[in-house]
């Protein structure tokens, strides 16, 4: 069944071998009658069996998150959907500009006016076209679901970039579909922390590194975009991504975003969460003053510093910092934070100590496995003995790899 015809203000452009149109269209004009469809819903690019496979690639949980974002966020915004028009007879009409065309009282010459006239116009969709999404199918399906629940978003305007698909040039359009999805890569973790304006943990991480008296120091935060420090970094304390992961723990991220939809909290909530974070770091730095000395490049024991020989101190490693925050939060949730605070400084955090050797430190590098065991050992050292048998069994296996015997060497400090 044909849709009603619509007239869209548009720009006409050229990129490589593609001519395209850039326009805006109301949500209701996209979803009512499914004027715009997904590639699996179209028969223009692939055969039925390939479309069935593509349909299975659609992530329903992602669609649900997009729907919730559209319904709950007043500051909702999407990048352009890239669509292809198949069949039908879309028509383009130029705007006719007056020759005496001025901007800020400067007369635009005839050559520029000719160029502008050739680029600005109206694209008319008769309603008998098939329009399918090359980039943004999850956004389209999320828009449909949101419109089903709240018709008021129908007047929101979505940006469309339109290319013309010809049935005799399927390979060309399929290549464009592949390229658009191949290069739509996720941003690096650190870039997400820097750019995200709705994620509370990201917002508070930026505030921490911009305002906190320790984290504003030169050697506090590495410039790396990843979680771990580089192997050659012997100066920096932590990374932006590590701080972000720690903050997710401290602010109860999974509780804050139960529906998995990231909506910016109120300023008052952010203020309360930031206090939780700064309280944690105040305790950490007060308890381990050598960390501050390390950041300030003051004298600290040589075995404290990260090194290849014995690893240095676990607290100068992002993985150790994350573990520390995890157990801190566990004890806080169990109303045992006093036990944690009164005793954690008694733990030997040297990587070459019997507490962490072979579990965190292996030869001349960090051991990245044994996640559960690491947490269990930390809890055990603070007096939580219910996992003693598990710890003993796991360490026995690990020690055997080095032709050693584990003899219940770990002793709680509480």
Q: Does 132 map to a domain?
A: yes
Asked if residue 339 and residue 205 are part of one domain, the reply reads yes
Asked if residue 243 and residue 121 are part of one domain, the reply reads no
* End position of a domain, from candidates 182, 216, 234: 182
Question: Which range (176-180, 219-223, 315-319, 380-384) has the least confidence?
Answer: 176-180
CA dihedral in degrees (310, 316, 318, 321; nearest 10)? 110
Question: Which range (136-140, 192-196, 329-333, 390-394) has the least confidence?
Answer: 192-196
**Is residue 57 predicted with pLDDT exceeding 70?**
yes
CB of 10 closer than 8 Å to CB of 21: yes
Asked if residue 157 and residue 289 are part of one domain, the reply reads no
The residue-averaged pLDDT of 356-374 equals 89
- pLDDT tens for 387-403 read 999 999 999 999 999 89
Q: Is residue 180 very low, low, confident or very high in pLDDT (cuts 50, 70, 90)? A: confident
Asked if residue 355 and residue 284 are part of one domain, the reply reads yes
**Is residue 150 predicted with pLDDT exceeding 90?**
yes
Classify residue 264 by its DSSP letter. Answer: P
Asked if residue 331 and residue 271 are part of one domain, the reply reads yes
Q: In whole numbers, what is the pLDDT of the chain averaged over residues?
A: 87
Asked if residue 31 and residue 126 are part of one domain, the reply reads yes
Asked if residue 230 and residue 286 are part of one domain, the reply reads yes
Q: Which two tokens stand for residue 239?
A: 């990374």
Asked if residue 195 and residue 137 are part of one domain, the reply reads no
* End position of a domain, from candidates 166, 182, 198: 182
**Is residue 39 predicted with pLDDT exceeding 60?**
yes
* Beta pairing, strands 18-26 & 106-107: unpaired
Asked if residue 255 and residue 215 are part of one domain, the reply reads yes
């Amino acid at each position: 069944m044909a849709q009603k015809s619509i007239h869209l203000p548009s720009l006409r452009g050229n990129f490589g071998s593609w001519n395209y149109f850039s326009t805006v269209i109301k949500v209701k004009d996209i979803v009512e009658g499914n004027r715009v469809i997904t590639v699996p819903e179209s028969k223009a690019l692939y055969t039925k069996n390939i479309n069935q496979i593509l349909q299975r690639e659609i992530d329903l949980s992602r669609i649900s998150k997009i729907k919730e974002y559209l319904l709950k966020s007043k500051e909702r915004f999407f990048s352009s959907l890239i669509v292809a028009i198949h069949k039908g007879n879309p028509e383009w009409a130029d705007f006719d500009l007056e020759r005496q065309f001025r901007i800020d009282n400067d007369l635009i010459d005839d050559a520029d006016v000719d160029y502008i006239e050739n680029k600005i116009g109206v694209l008319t969709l008769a309603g008998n076209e098939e329009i399918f999404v090359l980039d943004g199918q999850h956004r389209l399906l999320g828009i449909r679901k949101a419109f089903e629940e709240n018709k008021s978003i129908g007047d929101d305007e979505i940006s469309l970039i339109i290319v013309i698909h010809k049935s005799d040039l399927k390979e060309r359009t399929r290549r464009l579909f592949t390229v658009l999805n191949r290069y739509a890569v996720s941003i690096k973790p650190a870039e997400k922390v820097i750019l995200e304006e709705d994620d509370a943990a990201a917002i508070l991480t930026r505030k921490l590194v911009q305002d906190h008296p320790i984290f504003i120091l030169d050697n506090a935060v590495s410039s790396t975009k990843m979680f771990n420090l580089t192997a050659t970094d012997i100066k920096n304390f932590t990374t932006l991504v590590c701080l972000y992961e720690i903050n997710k723990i401290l602010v109860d991220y999974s509780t804050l975003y139960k529906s998995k939809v990231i909506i910016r909290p109120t300023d008052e909530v952010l203020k309360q969460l930031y206090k939780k974070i700064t309280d944690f770091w105040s305790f950490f730095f007060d308890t381990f003053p050598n960390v501050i000395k390390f950041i300030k490049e003051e004298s600290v024991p040589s075995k404290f510093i990260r090194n290849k020989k014995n690893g240095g101190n676990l607290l100068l490693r992002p993985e150790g910092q994350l573990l520390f925050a995890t157990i801190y939060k566990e004890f806080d949730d169990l109303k045992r934070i006093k036990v944690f605070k009164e005793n954690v400084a008694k733990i030997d955090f040297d990587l070459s100590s019997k507490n962490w050797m072979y579990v965190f430190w292996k030869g001349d590098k960090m051991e990245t496995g044994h996640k559960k065991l690491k947490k269990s050992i930390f809890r055990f050292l603070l007096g939580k003995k219910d996992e003693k048998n598990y710890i003993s069994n796991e360490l026995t296996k690990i020690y055997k790899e080095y032709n050693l015997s584990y003899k219940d060497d770990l002793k709680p400090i509480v």
